[in-house]
Amino acid sequence: MPRATPAMNDDIASSFGFPAVGRKKITAAFDGGRLTSDGGVLLLAQAERAMGICQRLAACIADPRDPARVIHRLDDILRARVFAIACGYEDADDLDALRDDPGFRLALGKLPESGAGLASQPTMSRWENAPTTRELASMMAAMIDIYCASYPAPPTAVTLDIDDTCDVVHGYQQLSFWNGHHGERCFLPIHIYDTATGRPVAMLLRTGKTPSGKEAAGHIRRLVRHLRRNWPDTHITIRGDGHYGRPEVMAYCDAARVDYVFGLPTNSALRADPAIVAVADACAVKRAQRQCPVLRNYAETRYGAKTWKCQRRVVARIEASTLGMDIRYVVTSLATGSAEHIYDTLYCARGQAENLIKRHKSQLASDRTSCRSANANQMRLILHTAAYWLLWRIQQAMPRTAALASAEFTTLRLRLLKVAARVVESASRIRIAFASACPDADLFRALVLRLKPAPT
């Protein structure tokens, strides 16, 4: 561990004051010794040890270094970066300040005082830029394997939500593109979630324009192919908005026996469909007769666009109000279920994916894709997804009755990770002293026990 010079000690220990309390002067200094403000990083370490995320990711990257001269193993470098992201330090240069933090050192299996510190920012940045495109593809496949392994047994069926989100850039990074809809130069990375459980499945950096049908079908084909290597008998349903209701996507899903529920943009043929027009007129008349501010009804029809090779089931949500008529359409391969069930229960549930994207993008700062190289930015997306997995794992270990069992990641970080602790190292043991007044002490203790690896 690097030793501070006398000048550094003077700067760190220079005291400052606060208003007096009870006629007693208050002075303070950053000279408390082996203290960490991120005691909960040890929870992250237990969650990561249980899932093995960083070891799997590191195995996908070639390491040309001489093993005899390696100070920081590649999986430890990734581990430190992922832990820092989960604790709210989203930039690699934050590791320069954290490399001697006793909490982070213990989480990486290092003693609080002896030995080299954690990897510095240049090392982190070098490895963010190291993976090749082929290695990144392997890492993406490993993330899907991690998703599949998170289930104790293959599920009977899963519904996966696919969506893209605007990731604004402030320069001319590779793949950045002007998007007229968002009015920004941006990326439009694709996020895929198992929304019912909150599990992330895949995150793909891509250019800032709406994906074409051919591109979207290619991404879904690769995803389904890899899922079926792990789960050959699991029934898969893909759900998305109108961007993904393309002929190429639906044709692939039909051929691969994958069900889908996609938004469908309106057009003159749908607006003139007799089945939908009849229900819409009846809904408008009934609303006027009852003097309701809003009245909703549902209809369905068989529809085939010119670019489709067959007719498909289309469900319409019809809403008559004092402001006029609003009709939304959904195309699906599902033959069972009422029109109301298809729209309100199945399709509208994809709104939860927006909340999961918000967790990933805003609460874990995965939009910090400011590297010049597209590969480096994809690597960042993978690291932020790994941090998402660790927070998800901690949340799943909570008792269902706990107040934080459904909390946002920012709340989990504030209540469970940003916990002050004193680290006391003696000849035979290391003791971590958390604050006696910690409001979540009982939950923290329970999580440590639940995340503790089983004896071997």
First and final C-alpha spacing in the chain: 33
Spatial contact of 296 and 362, defined as CB atoms under 8 Å apart: no
Q: Which two tokens stand for residue 454?
A: 């089983």
Task: Tell me the average pLDDT across 221-246.
Answer: 95
Q: Is residue 262 part of a domain?
A: no
* Separation of alpha carbons 408 and 304, rounded Å: 42
Quick one: 144 and 198 in the same domain? yes
The boundaries of the domain holding residue 150 are 133-247+365-375
pLDDT at 13: 57
pLDDT at 170: 84
Quick one: 166 and 242 in the same domain? yes
pLDDT at 10: 52
The total number of structural domains that make up the chain: 3
Spatial contact of 107 and 415, defined as CB atoms under 8 Å apart: no
Quick one: 440 and 425 in the same domain? yes
pLDDT at 31 over 80: no
182-227 per-position pLDDT tens digit: 999 999 999 999 999 999 999 999 999 999 999 999 999 999 999 9
Spatial contact of 220 and 248, defined as CB atoms under 8 Å apart: no
Q: Is residue 358 part of a domain?
A: no
Phi then psi dihedrals of residue 21, to 5 deg: -125, 125
368-378 per-position pLDDT tens digit: 898 999 999 99
Quick one: 324 and 343 in the same domain? yes
* Separation of alpha carbons 88 and 267, rounded Å: 46
CA distances from 427 to 104, 108, 174 (A): 20, 20, 52
Quick one: 158 and 219 in the same domain? yes
Quick one: 101 and 115 in the same domain? yes
**pTM recorded for the entire structure:** 0.92
33-83 per-position pLDDT tens digit: 788 999 999 999 999 999 999 999 999 999 999 999 999 999 999 999 999
Quick one: 282 and 345 in the same domain? yes
262-312 per-position pLDDT tens digit: 999 999 999 999 999 999 999 999 999 999 999 999 999 999 998 998 999
378-420 per-position pLDDT tens digit: 999 999 999 999 999 999 999 999 999 999 999 999 999 999 9
Quick one: 235 and 294 in the same domain? no
* Separation of alpha carbons 44 and 394, rounded Å: 7
